[in-house]
Amino acid sequence: MITKVHIRGYRKFKELILNPHHEMNIIVGANEAGKSTLLEAVTMVLTGKFEGVTASEALNPYWFNMELVDAFFNALSNMKVDEPLPAIPEFRIDIHLEIPDGESQKMRGIHNMLKEDSVGLSVHAYPDPDYSEEIEQYFREDNCPHILPVEYYRLDWRDFADQVVYRRPKELGVAVIDTRTIRSDRGMDYYTRQIVEERLDPKVRNHVSVEHRKMRASLGDSLLTVLDGALGTDFSAFRQLKLGIQVDQSRSSSWANTLVPAIDKVPFSQSGKGTQATAKTVLAMGRSSNSSAYLLVEEPENHLSHTSLRELLSYISAAREGRQVLVTTHSSYVLNRLGLDQLVLLREGTAHAFQELSDDTSEYFKKLAGFDTLRLVLAKKAVLVEGPSDEIIFNRFFLDKYGAEPLDYGVDVISIGGVSFRRGFELASVLNQPLVALRDNDGKTPEHWQDKIKDFTKPNERELFVGQPNLGRSLEYQITSANTEDTLRTVLGLDNNADLLDWMSTHKTATALKIATSSVKLNPPKYIADAINSLQSVVIRTRGLS
């Protein structure tokens, strides 16, 4: 089991420490938060490879954290001629492991960035001492390009005992499933081919290999003789050399490179992307937990219908027994179905794993998988309202106050549509996420409703705003209390024959749309005005960045 992932100077991560859950980890974050980079880093350390290529051969100058690289070149440009070079950028990735006694205990040591006594592996890219003169000359040249010369770097794959690792330890089997795209190798990416081959018993693979070689050796002898004759005639005029054709018996022509999997008798490459994604997942999970102790899944929601995604998530849930699973996603459905208590949030180069969410709240969102939880998780500041009409009206009053929609300032207004406010506040509290919520008083005091969520509220951070009962029990009553009847009839286009409150209460959406599109500004009810005023710091901060 991976107990800790420690990344320093790799891509997005200047410094990151993650203590993952021992079974399921659902990694979420905004675009460019580093979700794929995290899986990439874990795969590289456990396998020593990057997309099937030895990591040392694939080393790329853009693997280094750009903030550190820019700081280095800025220091370099301000350096005096006789000064030593600034510290040249490196990156290192350590993975700490908890493994039962056995062969893998030889990987135990303190050769990690934290100097902890632990079993583990690391990948470390740094300037090669054998090229110290070339490196010095490169960086001291006039107009030195702002790119690291990785040709002069080393990339070491070592364990925590400081021993060089040459091949993946057998206890650390990894299955990687990237449903976003298929890297073409006759329709199968490297990882899928690896999964297919490793699922076969070695004796079966060897038997197939021998039979395949025999078949190729006897392939069309008469046809090859004809080809040999034609080539020999053309070539004989040049020299006394006999040119012919033979079947390639090299490793590149092995059965694994000429036979491809098929799904319902359709070649893998010709199957739909959704079918390929499901097949890759099922193949990976069909292996024993010994051969794939770690299952890494990239965005399982891609290319799948809702029904197919639900089926795939059932497979993934079943796979967690005896395995550690890391899943990245942009889908609230995936997050809710696999369990909010397994959430890992990536934000601004840091990772947070959350286990404090109560079991009943986690189960609640599993049953309510359609709720857009990620909007609440990823928003700079979220506003929860009861329904669509509340959302429309809040947006209009916010626009009147600040001159722009809430989303323009990173404020996401979410209609919870029956979701308990308490559940939303509990989730926001666990995430330490700012939250504003508004609800009808239903004839009770604001304190009655606020007391129900007091364990999860925090002044100026997570607050619930409720209108006073004497001003009306619902939004429509509160609006009529804050505005004149004539103004409301003008906005809503109602004559004096219509009962104003009755019409507004029975036409909630129409009321909201008319208010939102009217050229006349209404006065917001006090509790809505208070909620909007509480967001002023977010607005000011966002304006300062623009």
Q: Are 123 and 44 in contact (CB under 8 A)?
A: yes
Non-local CB neighbours of 302 within 8 Å, separated by 6+ positions: 179, 180, 273, 277
| Nearest alpha carbon to residue 382 among 541, 535, 544, 546 | 535
Q: Provide the pLDDT for residue 342.
A: 86
The domain in which residue 99 lies consists of 2-20+29-178
State how far the Cα of 283 lies from the Cα of 265, in Å rounded to an integer.
16
Q: Do 170 and 226 share a domain, yes or no? A: no
Q: Tell whether 504 is covered by a domain.
A: yes
Q: Provide the pLDDT for residue 238.
A: 47
Which residue, chain included where needed, has tokens 């899986």?
Answer: 39
Six token digits for residue 370: 């359609």
State how far the Cα of 431 lies from the Cα of 365, in Å rounded to an integer.
15
Query: What 8-state DSSP symbol labels residue 161?
Result: T
Q: Which amino acid is at 440?
A: D
Beta bridge mates, 154: 126
State how far the Cα of 385 lies from the Cα of 436, in Å rounded to an integer.
9
Overall pTM surpassing 0.85 (yes/no): no
Q: Do 393 and 518 share a domain, yes or no? A: yes
The number of distinct structural domains making up the chain is 3
Q: Which amino acid is at 275?
A: T
Q: Tell whether 471 is covered by a domain.
A: yes
Q: Do 394 and 519 share a domain, yes or no? A: yes
Q: Do 40 and 156 share a domain, yes or no? A: yes
C-alpha separations of 199 from 47, 88, 259, 295, 392 in Å = 17, 43, 15, 15, 54
**Boundary (domain end) residue, out of 259, 278, 296:** 259
Beta bridge mates, 17: 6
Q: Provide the pLDDT for residue 199.
A: 62
State how far the Cα of 61 lies from the Cα of 528, in Å rounded to an integer.
51
State how far the Cα of 202 lies from the Cα of 301, in Å rounded to an integer.
34
Helix, strand or coil, per DSSP, at residue 156: strand
Helical (H) or strand (E) element with 202: helix 202-217
Q: Are 154 and 142 in contact (CB under 8 A)?
A: no
Q: Do 238 and 138 share a domain, yes or no? A: no
Q: Provide the pLDDT for residue 540.
A: 81
Q: Tell whether 385 is covered by a domain.
A: yes
State how far the Cα of 466 lies from the Cα of 232, in Å rounded to an integer.
93
**Boundary (domain end) residue, out of 143, 178, 213:** 178
Q: Do 47 and 115 share a domain, yes or no? A: yes
Q: Do 462 and 526 share a domain, yes or no? A: yes
Backbone angles phi, psi at 10, to 5 degrees: -105, 115
Q: Provide the pLDDT for residue 458.
A: 94
Six token digits for residue 408: 């323009």
C-alpha separations of 508 from 429, 477, 514 in Å = 31, 12, 10
Q: Tell whether 216 is covered by a domain.
A: yes
Q: Do 384 and 530 share a domain, yes or no? A: yes
Q: Tell whether 427 is covered by a domain.
A: yes
| Nearest alpha carbon to residue 281 among 315, 317, 304 | 315
Q: Tell whether 188 is covered by a domain.
A: no
Q: Do 399 and 463 share a domain, yes or no? A: yes
Q: Provide the pLDDT for residue 275.
A: 74
Q: Do 43 and 160 share a domain, yes or no? A: yes
Q: Do 172 and 205 share a domain, yes or no? A: no
**Length of the chain counted residue by residue:** 546
Helix, strand or coil, per DSSP, at residue 353: strand
**Boundary (domain end) residue, out of 145, 178, 211:** 178
Residue 366's Cβ-side half-sphere holds a number of Cα atoms within 13 Å equal to: 17
Per-residue pLDDT of the chain (546 residues; tens, 9 = 90+): 999 999 999 999 999 999 999 888 999 988 888 999 999 999 999 999 998 899 999 999 999 999 999 999 999 998 888 899 999 999 999 999 998 877 788 999 999 999 999 999 999 999 999 999 999 999 999 888 999 999 999 999 999 999 999 998 888 888 887 766 554 444 455 555 665 666 667 777 777 777 767 776 666 555 566 666 665 555 445 455 555 555 665 555 566 666 666 767 676 667 676 777 777 777 666 655 566 788 888 888 877 777 778 887 887 787 777 889 999 988 888 888 888 888 888 887 888 777 777 888 888 887 777 778 888 888 888 999 999 999 999 999 999 999 999 999 989 999 987 668 998 999 899 888 899 999 999 999 999 999 999 999 999 999 999 999 999 999 999 999 999 999 999 999 999 889 999 999 999 999 999 999 999 999 999 999 999 999 998 888 877 665
C-alpha separations of 29 from 341, 359, 402 in Å = 16, 23, 28
Q: Do 108 and 210 share a domain, yes or no? A: no
Q: Tell whether 386 is covered by a domain.
A: yes
Q: Provide the pLDDT for residue 198.
A: 62
Q: Tell whether 93 is covered by a domain.
A: yes
